[in-house]
């Protein structure tokens, strides 16, 4: 009886993140003008929409709201000139991301409301409250509503890649010996064959003496993205670093240069021509549609560019993403929530990623604790969403995070979705131009805003 | 976290539904006592002493500890923090702790007012072997906030004055402002057979300073302490302890005659969570009190 | 203690009988591409071709996150409440001898002076049916840490496949009781022994030599450059600790609103950079070399000194799960080699 009464009496609880200069004043104007409108919205005031981190939106849902409104000054009117234009960039991508996770978009709204638009604010709130009412109470955050959706995309078979010619290994060793012998680099980061229980696999290695360079190899088992070691203090202490890098790894290196984590002159890139690596006996998904089989940035080139083959097919992640997008939001939610529930917060995804170099990581900040450290479902959801979000426009799709995950979470799908949205919206692909501004730190006056009221 | 989600959080394993049968935990080793803050005093701009009283009168009557032991103090909703129990068990009925505001929990603790409630879990750890020191000369040398770790055992020895020989207390700090327990030093000095020396680092004195000026180990050496039938108890920042141990050696103190108390990052406080693990020991169980002899055997991992 | 013989058919019947009894039966199943221990409703759910679980059994005794204290604010004052803990009578099936031994190692940690009721409530109601190994995997090295493919440590009942049948050994009273409840399914073992099966399994181990330990010698190797050499590859994630059946370090955090909150205990890992960071900013283990040294010495020196056994059962999960292929067996050998030269 009590439960029914509770459900009959349910009123949408909505939080609005608004900017101080426009929407807050507009909402105030609605009040002073005695406009009647739905009381379901709690307003949180920010100096500017530019300050609104998607993290806050996630926290709001985690704390039980049924809907979120984000509103600020019209483009061109921002008190801080461009805060809202940068925010708009974020919203374009974030909204699509939330839809992909399975959030009902009736719960997430964006608007421009100026200081004089009290009537617009009142009308907006009334409309949004009804939309959220039609969506019903928000499902328990981070729990599936009904079982687990299984993704069964049928993918075309792709053959194994050809083994790199043995000359490439000899070339790498020779280059390493030269670089170390002349003292041009202090260490070469490359691959060697593992001994022990991982025999038959390649593994990262660090060579700092020319006579040890014969450890280095390159073959189709060299799956790791070694760029992660370029920000590692135990490697940097050797001085300039030589690094054996496939085209994908070089895209990560470009990202690090772009973001001022390393200087171009502090790294000597030994770029290798690569036709793909093998993971679990098959061509890695990241390699199927690879566009950088011939390195696009290097100091030394290993291998013959004419050996590079054309891509084997379309990116298999795209087909899987399309399948997910053909499902209803609730089915997508039931795909992702069981995945994140499995997360044990080992942070292997973060540890292998060359672009996760922040110290401290947002998950490690505890004043305030934005992301709960506990591996319960909503803590995990916050972590995985925010990590993917922080890599939006930066992740180059090396797939290491998904490979490293001990509980098989489809992190590769999350990151690829964000990369696709950034490319569609802004025409930007990360990892090619070290001098390009990163997509979310800039804006264009004509960024599409058809979803903003 | 919404009401009712707490049950969902009591998960047994990853992604698995709630268990069929559950039982309330009865002897919960992580459950703190509730304490009321009854009094506070600022020692320095960032260090404060709190006096706490058990809310449960039965616990207040029976709670006992030994000098040198520590406890986990909780600010509910924020976290727990380790401080030594800064008063002697000869002064029962309340617990005192002195803490410096450095992080999340200590900042929240500093925001609390007299009358508010915090949690208290303890006593944990080993203690100063005050029975073995009977009849001995005692030298207490505290540097900065290190003096906090010594106050409990100092009070014990002062309260049991007849059991011990001459007592020297050297309370040192970087500057006058950093000296803790300024208001208590007179009380200590007034006890028969107790010499109180206060010292600040060169440059840390004020124009009206009437104590010594110099680094604590140097000041200590100049006081010409004797290792005969004596015990040296010292605590302070790691660099001070290092130089104190060297000074003690120079003065002829054997490593078994020198005691210190360590701190290390802790969580459970009872030897399970692994955080304060140093070599085969847990600072929370096998320490925090160590002799210089034991310290020499510890790997440099703290 | 009883020694019985069980046919393969009767093994299935026995599992079904256990499920039909009031107990929760946990067994290895396939889920999301992983082999994990989960409660089963039928013996058909058991993972075929089961070798070793991906995640260790410890999550059923020591979950990745659990609430250890609850409180709510009433009239401005905190009111504390003890949480509920799982007390379901449970049988765990087919833990490998390494995993069963790991449980007895965890028993030492969570018992002792301060009895952790969260672990022990579950532990007391758990009966472990171990399953000996006949096909060691390439990463296995239980014999190098004092165990064997047919070790009895930790199991209440140990099954060993010999031909088409199983030797069933009740090793504890709990195990006896379990067998007595289904006595009709077992026949006397007669002269069935596991000696030959054990010898055959040990012969298949790729790395059977004992590993050195450092409980008396760690001081000599503590500051050696070998640690940086072996740890440079380490990325500082927690996969090794979280897939390890003996690792047990945990964090305690509060999560709260203005009106109520919980204190949680979460898995933690000594490889994380913040594990030993003091609020003052001092970090006793500032580099990955320091942290990896701690991992190795905790397992192969300190724990051994305190509890008499390596904190490693040779399951090899850390080796196969490590994103960069670090092999603790090789590393311990390498450290041992360097120690010999000191």
Per-residue pLDDT of C315-333, as tens digits, reads 999 999 999 999 999 999 9
**From edge to edge, which strands make up the β-sheet containing B70-75?**
B79-84, B70-75, B117-124, B33-42, B47-54, B95-100
Range of the domain at A397: 316-441
Residues of chain A contacting C235 with CB distance shorter than 8 Å: 228, 348, 351-352
Measured in Å, how far apart are chain B's first and last C-alpha atoms? 36
Query: C221 and C35 in contact (C-beta within 8 Å)?
Result: no
Region for C107 from its dihedrals, namely left if φ exceeds 0, alpha if ψ lies in -120 to 50, beta otherwise: alpha
Residue B1 has pLDDT above 70, yes or no: no
**pLDDT at residue A180 tops 50:** yes
Closest residue to B12, CB basis, from C86, C114, C222 = C86
Identify whether A157 is part of a domain. no
Which pairs with CB-CB distance under 8 Å and at least 24 residues apart come from A288-291? A288/A158, A288/A312, A288/A313, A288/A314, A288/A315, A288/A316, A289/A313, A289/A314, A289/A315, A289/A316, A290/A247, A290/A248, A291/A247
**pLDDT band (50, 70, 90) for residue B14:** very low
Tell me: do A303 and A338 sit in the same domain. Answer: no
Report the C-alpha gap between A193 and A209 in whole angstroms.
18
Same-domain pairing of A62 and A93: yes
C-alpha span between A21 and B9 (Å, rounded):
40
pTM for the complete prediction?
A: 0.94
Is residue A200 domain-shared with residue A223, that is, in the same domain? yes
Q: What is the per-residue pLDDT across C1-35, written as a single tens digit (0 to 9) for each?
A: 899 999 999 999 999 999 999 899 999 999 989 99
| pLDDT tens, residue by residue, A303-346 | 999 999 999 899 999 999 999 999 999 999 999 999 999 999 99
Closest residue of chain A to B4, computed from CA coordinates: A140
DSSP category for residue B23:
E
Is residue A181 located within the same domain as residue A94? Answer: no
ipTM of the modeled complex:
0.95
Question: Can you give the residue ranges of every domain in chain C?
Answer: 3-55+85-204, 218-341
Residue-level pLDDT at B93: 87
Burial A341-372 (b: 16+ CB within 10 A, else e): bbbbbbbbbbbbbbbbbeeebbbbebeebbbb
Interface touch A375/B2, C-beta < 8 Å: no
Strand partners, C187: C5
Exposed/middle/buried for residue C135 (C-beta within 10 Å: 0-12, 13-18, 19+) = exposed
Do A302 and A320 belong to one domain? no
Cβ contact A344–B5 (<8 Å)? no
Q: Are the Cβ atoms of C71 and B30 closer than 8 angstroms?
A: no
Residues A268 and A378 in one domain: no
Distance between CA A272 and CA A165 in Å, rounded? 11
Choose among C298, C272, C305: nearest CA to C286: C272
CA distances to A53, A253, B233 from A433, in Å:
27, 11, 62
Residue at which a domain ends, from A262, A285, A307: A307
Q: What is the pLDDT of residue B19?
A: 80
**Which is nearest to B155 in space by CA: B142, B144, B143?**
B142
Residue in B with minimal Cα distance to C89: B21
Asked if residue A292 and residue A322 are part of one domain, the reply reads no
Q: C166 with C194: CB under 8 angstroms? A: no
Distance CA A245, CA C248 (A): 37
- The answer to whether the Cβ–Cβ distance between A367 and B107 falls below 8 Å is yes
Residue A121 lies in a domain: yes
Residues 6+ apart with CB under 8 A from C13: C185
Count of helix runs (H) and strand runs (E) in chain C: 12, 13
A252 and A368 housed in the same domain = no
User: 3-class SS at A245?
Assistant: strand
Burial environment of residue A82 by CB neighbours within 10 A (0 to 12, 13 to 18, 19 or more): middle
Domains held by chain A: number = 3
Structure tokens at C65: 């996150």
pLDDT in tens, A393-442: 999 999 999 999 999 999 999 999 999 999 999 999 999 999 999 999 99
User: A49-54: long-range contacts (C-beta < 8 A, 24 or more apart)?
Assistant: A49/A17, A49/A18, A49/A19, A49/A73, A49/A78, A49/A83, A49/A84, A49/A87, A50/A78, A50/A80, A50/A82, A50/A83, A50/A84, A50/A86, A50/A87, A51/A83, A52/A17, A52/A87, A54/A90, A54/A94, A54/A386, A54/A389
- The radius of gyration of chain C from alpha carbons, rounded to an integer in Å, stands at 22
In-domain check, residue A219: yes
Can you give the CATH number for the domain in which A34 is found?
3.40.50.960
pLDDT band at B17 (very low <50, low <70, confident <90, very high): low
Give the model's pLDDT for residue A7: 63
Chosen for mutation from A145, A376, A409 (greatest number of chain B CBs closer than 10 Å) is A376
Do A325 and A263 fall into the same domain? no
- Domain check: are A215 and A340 in the same one? no
Q: Which of B12, A75, A95, A301 is nearest to C60 (CA)?
A: B12
User: Both A321 and A371 in a single domain?
Assistant: yes
CA distances (Å), C296 to each of C211, C271, C277, in order? 12, 11, 19
Q: Which residues contact B58 (CB under 8 A, 6 or more apart)?
A: none
What are the phi and psi torsion angles at A169 (to 5°)? Answer: -65, -45
Which of B297, B286, B291, B215 has the alpha carbon at shortest distance from B253?
Answer: B291
Does some domain include residue A149? no
Chain-chain contact of B104 with A367 (C-beta, under 8 angstroms): yes
Largest Cα separation within chain A, whole Å, is 83
Is residue A176 one of the residues assigned to a domain? yes
Please answer whether residues C43 and C54 qualify as being in contact, where contact means their C-beta atoms are separated by less than 8 angstroms.
no
Q: Where are the alpha helices (DSSP H) in A33-77?
A: 54-62
Find, among A97, A94, A91, A104, the residue nearest to A131 by Cα: A104
pLDDT tens track, chain C, 342 positions: 899 999 999 999 999 999 999 899 999 999 989 999 999 999 999 999 999 999 999 999 999 999 999 999 999 899 999 999 999 999 999 999 999 999 999 999 999 999 999 999 999 999 999 999 999 999 999 999 999 999 999 999 999 999 999 999 999 999 999 999 999 999 999 999 999 999 999 999 999 889 999 999 999 999 999 999 999 999 999 999 999 999 999 999 999 988 999 999 999 999 999 999 999 899 999 999 999 999 999 999 999 999 999 999 999 999 999 999 999 999 999 999 999 998
pLDDT in tens, A280-294: 999 999 999 999 999
Residue A205 counted as domain residue: yes
Q: Is C34 on the interface with B (CB under 8 A)?
A: no
d(CA C192, CA C342): 49
pLDDT at B5 over 70: no
Q: Provide the pLDDT for residue B12.
A: 32
Identify the residue among C22, C30, C213, C262 best suited for mutation to test binding to B, counting B beta carbons within 10 A and taking the highest. Answer: C262
Strand order, beta sheet including C65-74: C77-81, C65-74, C260-267, C250-256
Domain end, chosen from A135, A157, A182, is at A135
Dihedral of alpha carbons C182, C186, C187, C188, sign: negative
- Is residue A142 assigned to a domain? no
Domain-ending residue, one of A135, A155, A178: A135
For residue A7, tell me if it sits in a domain. Answer: no
Task: Please give, rounded to a whole number of angstroms, the shortest distance from the CA of A434 to a CA of chain C.
Answer: 25
Q: Catalogue the E-assigned strands of B78-228.
A: 79-84, 95-100, 117-124, 137-143, 167-173, 194-200, 212-213
């Amino acid at each position: 009886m009590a439960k029914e009464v509770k459900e009959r009496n349910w009123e949408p609880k909505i939080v609005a993140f608004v900017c101080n200069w426009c929407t807050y004043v507009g909402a105030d104007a609605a009040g002073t003008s005695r406009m009647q409108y739905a009381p379901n919205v709690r307003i949180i005031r920010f100096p500017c929409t530019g300050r609104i981190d998607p993290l806050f939106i996630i926290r709001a849902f985690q704390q039980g709201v049924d809907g979120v409104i984000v509103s600020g000054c019209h483009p061109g009117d921002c008190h801080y000139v461009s805060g809202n234009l940068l925010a708009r960039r974020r919203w374009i991508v974030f909204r699509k991301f939330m839809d992909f996770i399975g959030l009902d978009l009736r719960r997430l709204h964006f608007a421009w409301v100026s200081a004089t638009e009290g009537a617009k604010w009142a009308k907006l709130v009334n409309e949004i409250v009804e939309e959220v009412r039609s969506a019903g109470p928000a499902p328990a955050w981070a729990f599936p509503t009904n079982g687990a959706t299984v993704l069964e995309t049928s993918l075309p078979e792709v053959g194994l890649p050809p083994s790199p010619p043995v000359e490439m290994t000899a070339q790498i060793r020779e280059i390493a010996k030269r670089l170390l012998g002349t003292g041009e680099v202090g260490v070469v980061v490359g691959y060697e064959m593992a001994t022990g229980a991982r025999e038959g696999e390649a593994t990262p290695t660090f060579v700092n003496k020319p006579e040890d360079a014969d450890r280095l190899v390159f073959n189709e088992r060299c799956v790791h993205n070694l760029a992660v070691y370029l920000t590692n203090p135990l490697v940097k202490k050797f001085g300039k670093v030589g690094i054996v890098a496939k085209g994908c790894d070089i895209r990560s290196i470009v990202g690090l240069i772009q973001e001022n984590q390393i200087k171009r002159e502090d790294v000597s890139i030994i770029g290798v021509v690569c036709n793909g690596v093998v993971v679990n006996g098959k061509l890695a998904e990241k390699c199927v549609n690879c566009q950088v089989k011939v390195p696009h940035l290097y100091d030394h080139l290993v291998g013959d560019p004419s050996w590079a083959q054309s891509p084997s097919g379309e990116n298999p992640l795209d087909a899987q993403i399309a399948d997910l997008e053909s499902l209803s939001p609730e089915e997508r939610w039931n795909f992702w929530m069981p995945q994140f529930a499995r997360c044990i917060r080992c942070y292997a995804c973060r540890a292998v990623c060359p672009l996760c170099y922040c110290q401290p990581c947002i998950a490690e900040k505890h004043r305030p604790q934005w992301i709960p450290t506990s591996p319960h479902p909503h803590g995990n959801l916050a972590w995985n969403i925010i990590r993917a979000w922080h890599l939006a426009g930066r992740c180059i799709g090396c797939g290491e995070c998904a490979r490293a995950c001990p509980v098989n979470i489809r992190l590769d799908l999350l990151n690829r979705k964000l990369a696709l949205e950034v490319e569609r919206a802004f025409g930007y692909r990360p990892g090619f131009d070290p001098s390009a501004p990163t997509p979310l730190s800039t804006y264009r006056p004509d960024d599409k805003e058809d979803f903003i009221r | 976290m919404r009401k009712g989600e707490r049950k969902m959080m009591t998960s047994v394993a990853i992604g698995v539904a709630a268990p069929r049968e559950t039982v309330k935990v009865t002897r919960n080793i992580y459950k703190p006592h509730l304490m009321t803050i009854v009094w506070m005093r600022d020692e320095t701009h960032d260090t404060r002493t709190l006096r706490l009283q058990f809310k449960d009168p039965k616990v207040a009557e029976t709670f006992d500890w030994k000098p040198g032991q520590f406890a986990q103090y909780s600010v509910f909703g924020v976290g727990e923090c380790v401080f030594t129990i800064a008063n002697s068990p000869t002064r029962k009925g309340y617990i005192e702790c002195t803490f410096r505001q450095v992080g999340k929990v200590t900042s929240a603790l500093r925001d609390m007012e007299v009358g508010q409630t915090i949690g208290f879990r303890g006593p944990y750890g080993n203690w100063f072997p005050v029975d073995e020191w009977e009849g001995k000369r005692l030298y207490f040398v505290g540097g900065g906030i290190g003096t906090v770790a010594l106050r409990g055992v100092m009070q014990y020895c002062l309260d049991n004055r007849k059991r011990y020989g001459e007592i020297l207390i050297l309370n040192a700090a970087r500057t006058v402002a950093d000296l803790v327990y300024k208001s208590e030093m007179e009380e200590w000095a007034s006890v028969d057979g107790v010499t109180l020396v206060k010292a600040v680092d060169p440059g840390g004195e004020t124009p009206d300073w009437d104590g010594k000026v110099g680094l604590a180990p140097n000041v200590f050496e100049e006081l010409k302490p004797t290792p005969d039938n004596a015990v040296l108890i010292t605590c302070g920042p790691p660099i001070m302890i290092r130089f104190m141990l060297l000074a003690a050696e120079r003065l002829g103190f054997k490593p078994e005659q020198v005691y210190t108390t360590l701190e290390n990052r802790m969580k459970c406080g009872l030897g399970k969570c692994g955080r304060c693990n140093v070599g085969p020991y847990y600072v929370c169980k096998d320490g925090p009190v160590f002799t210089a002899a034991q310290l020499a055997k510890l790997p440099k991992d703290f | 203690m009883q020694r019985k013989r069980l046919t393969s058919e009767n093994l299935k019947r026995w599992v079904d009988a256990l499920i039909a009894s009031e107990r929760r039966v946990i067994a290895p199943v396939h889920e999301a591409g992983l082999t994990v221990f989960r409660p089963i409703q039928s013996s058909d759910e058991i993972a075929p071709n089961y070798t070793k679980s991906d995640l260790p059994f410890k999550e059923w005794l020591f979950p990745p996150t659990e609430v250890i204290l609850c409180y709510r604010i009433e009239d401005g004052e905190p009111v504390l409440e003890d949480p509920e803990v799982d007390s379901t009578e449970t049988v765990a099936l087919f833990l490998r001898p390494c995993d069963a031994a790991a449980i007895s190692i965890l028993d030492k940690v969570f018992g002792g002076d301060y009895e952790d009721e969260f672990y022990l409530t579950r532990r007391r109601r758990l009966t472990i049916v171990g399953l000996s190994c006949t096909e060691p995997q390439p990463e296995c090295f239980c014999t190098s840490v004092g165990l064997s493919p047919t070790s009895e440590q930790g199991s209440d009942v140990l099954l060993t496949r010999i031909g088409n049948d199983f030797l069933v050994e009740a090793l504890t009273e709990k195990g006896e009781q379990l067998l007595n409840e289904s006595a009709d399914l077992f026949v006397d073992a007669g002269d069935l022994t596991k000696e030959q099966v054990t010898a055959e399994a040990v012969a298949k181990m790729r790395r059977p030599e004992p590993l050195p330990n450092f409980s008396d010698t760690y001081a000599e190797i503590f500051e050696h450059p070998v640690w940086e050499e072996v740890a440079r590859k380490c990325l500082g994630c927690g996969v090794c600790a979280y897939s390890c059946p003996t690792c047990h370090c945990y964090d305690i955090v509060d999560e709260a609103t203005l009106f109520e909150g919980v204190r949680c205990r979460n898995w933690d890992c000594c490889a994380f950079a913040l594990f030993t960071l003091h609020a003052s900013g001092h970090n006793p283990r500032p580099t990955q070399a320091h942290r990896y040294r701690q991992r190795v010495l905790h397992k192969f020196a300190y724990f051994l000194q305190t509890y008499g056994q390596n904190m490693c059962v040779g399951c090899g999960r850390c080796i196969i799960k490590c994103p960069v292929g670090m092999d603790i067996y090789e590393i311990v050998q390498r450290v041992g080699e360097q120690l010999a030269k000191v």
